[in-house]
Amino acid sequence: MAPQAQDRAGGSSEVAAGGDKPWHCYDTVFLNAKAGMSGVDKEKVQKVVYEMSKGSRYFENEQRKEAILQQRIEKFREQAAKISTTKLAETKAAVDRRILELEASRNLDKTWMHVDMDAFYAAVETVEDVSLSCKPMAVGGMSMICTANYEARKFGVRAAMPGFIACKLCPDLVLIKPNFEKYTHYSELTRQVFRLYDKNFIARSLDEAYLDITEFCRTESIAPAEVAERLRKDVFEKTKLTCSAGVAANRLLAKVCSDINKPNGQFVLESDREKIMEFVSKLPIRKVSGIGKVTERLLKDVLSINMCSDLIENRYLISALFSTISTDFFLSVGLGIGASEAPHEEQRKSISNERTFSPTSDANILGKILGDLAESLSEDMIKENLQGRTLTLKLKTSTFEVRSRAVSVQHFISSKKEIESLAIKLLKAELPISLRLLGVRVSQFKEDDPSQKSIASFLKDISDAAVKDDDLEHDYDEQTPYLSDTDRDTSCKHTADQWTQDDRCSLCGERISSEYPTLRQEHEDFHFALKIQQQDSVNQLEVSKRSIGKRPAGSKNGPPG
Ligand code: TTP
Ligand code: MG
């Protein structure tokens, strides 16, 4: 199937301006369709999402972000308008040379497979309770769901959507609390299979991995499509879970391919230059990992770049507008060359770690979280032999405002002590503050060339200096609000004693067992959801109550009476 055939809901650039349908202007991650959502009534979903979120802090934050993005688009437009034909002509020779270099680096001898589990968390829950198999179901809570099964996706329910909106879209939705231990266990089982095909496979998250199957195809004398069939069968036998696979000459394309025939399917893109060029000519830029909402909007709205091949058609303009490193990335995408093949692209620019938690302004708790983050970041850096000079602290306030604060030091750091002390200093300057997320990032590695600007820093340069929001830097995470890998593994690890001081909800007096700290978060989320829903009808309130009542066995707290 051609990638275009699967094109899903578009960004707000595609929607008409508000008018009597204000929801048309509200573009949020909840509207980005995932696999299994192509038949969804987008208009209906958009309206429900708009009606149920308007007035909330999340909604206000989305509007603020949209306004900032508009400003950036305008600045970018002005910048583009200033590019003279002389300037374009000047870039011509260098760009054409670069294209030749990139072409020369194209490697069609490798066969990469990207494997991605289908509706992973939901599928694991279903394996353990088959009665869920025919019901619309999502894993998560009233404030946020991690994923939904394909039955629920038909209603527009998707990952990162608040559970109370999902319940409105699909009143029979069953909500299951996440159990990360289970997902890690099943992930390990899938990895045991991956190892048989490529012992050096690259795990990207709990549910996806890249495998270099070149050697396997050669030694077993079988075609890539057959390897994909075999691997998917092996994964199923081991786990009773289905997965989808994409095969191509590089990782970038293999990832795009694994999504084409989801769920329980596969797509093989032949390692042939012409076939690849044809494929990218129909591939919307947003499908490429690394091109998020912001980059998409800049390229689409200002430069009318929609498909990956348009990046090549507009190569001189791109080169005049973007840094060398970003231009390289865009050209590689336009040529269907994996970033790893393009010289200089493999190098890692930063390493980070972040955690989401219940909003708190307790400086001791914030300090403790920073200590934990510094420790695991330091461990990762030591494992990867990285040392950096810049420490960035990311903060998300309880009102969803994202800020970042950075400090650069003379020497290179990697120890927990150094990271923690710099991060604490940055945090102290912000106190008092109520936060729901903290993150630490180290960059400016020893081997970095500071003259090379990343796309994020470029976009930052053209942005309003007064704007402190670092969302652009997290363009890749534009599927946010999202539990990053780190969050997924740790968000349930609040120690019970954080809550023992107060085991009654201050809002409704409900007793909350300190044995189940995550239930407290759920409970608080429920109040948050109720607050937003007060603007809606009583019926909607009933829907939420029914849904929260569907907690799995073992949950001790029901909805407040
Ligand atoms: P995905 O592979 O993006 O989604 P999925 O496996 O549930 O569905 P499919 O691949 O069939 O489209 O993510 C893998 C898991 O990561 C998912 O099961 C739950 C978790 N996750 C979150 O916690 N938050 C998110 O926003 C997303 C997208 C995923
Ligand atoms: Mg998946």
Do the domains 348-447 and 85-106+286-335 match in fold?
no
Please say whether the beta carbons of 499 and 514 come within 8 A: yes
Cβ-based neighbour number of residue 89 at 10 Å: 10
Please say whether the beta carbons of 388 and 411 come within 8 A: no
Mutate to test the pocket of ligand 1, among 153, 207, 266, 486 (most ligand atoms within 8 A of CB): 207
- How far, in Å, is the centroid of ligand 1 from the Cα of 209? 13
Count of residues for the chain? 561
Phi, psi of 140 (to 5 degrees): 145, -160
Residue 382 to residue 32: CA distance in whole angstroms = 37
Superfamily (CATH) of domain 348-447: DNA polymerase, Y-family, little finger domain (3.30.1490.100)
The whole-number average pLDDT for the span 340-353 is 61
- How far, in Å, is the centroid of ligand 1 from the Cα of 335? 28
- How far, in Å, is the centroid of ligand 1 from the Cα of 350? 24
Buried b (16+ CB within 10 A) or exposed e, 238-250: ebebbbbbbbbbb
* Residue 493 pLDDT exceeds 80: no
The whole-number average pLDDT for the span 206-220 is 96
Lowest mean pLDDT among 131-140, 419-428, 489-498, 515-524: 489-498
Counting ligands in written order, which one lies closest to the CA of residue 149? 1
pTM of the model: 0.68
Closest residue by CA, ligand 1 atom 24: 146
Q: Is the CB of 152 under 6 A from ligand 1?
A: no
User: What is the pairing mode between strands 266-268 and 243-248?
Assistant: parallel
Residue 419 to residue 408: CA distance in whole angstroms = 11
| Element at 234 (helix H, strand E) | helix 224-239
For the CA of 148, the closest atom of ligand 1 is 7
Active-site residues, by number, are 208
Residue 444 to residue 228: CA distance in whole angstroms = 39
The whole-number average pLDDT for the span 508-516 is 53
Closest residue by CA, ligand 1 atom 21: 146
DSSP labels, 430-498: T-S--EEEEEEEEEEETT--TTS--HHHHHHHTS-TT----GGGGGGGTT-S---HHHHHHTT---GGG
Per residue in 57-79, pLDDT (tens digit) is 778 888 888 898 999 899 999 98
Domain ranges of the chain: 3-82, 85-106+286-335, 348-447
- How far, in Å, is the centroid of ligand 2 from the Cα of 271? 25
**Which of the listed ranges 59-63, 206-210, 292-296 does the model predict with the highest average pLDDT?**
206-210
Lowest mean pLDDT among 34-43, 77-86, 194-203, 496-505: 496-505
Mutate to test the pocket of ligand 1, among 40, 120, 259, 478 (most ligand atoms within 8 A of CB): 120
Per residue in 435-447, pLDDT (tens digit) is 999 999 999 887 6
* Nearest to 351, CA basis, from 323, 324, 389, 407: 389
For the CA of 262, the closest atom of ligand 1 is 11
The whole-number average pLDDT for the span 446-452 is 46
CATH of domain 85-106+286-335: 1.10.150.810
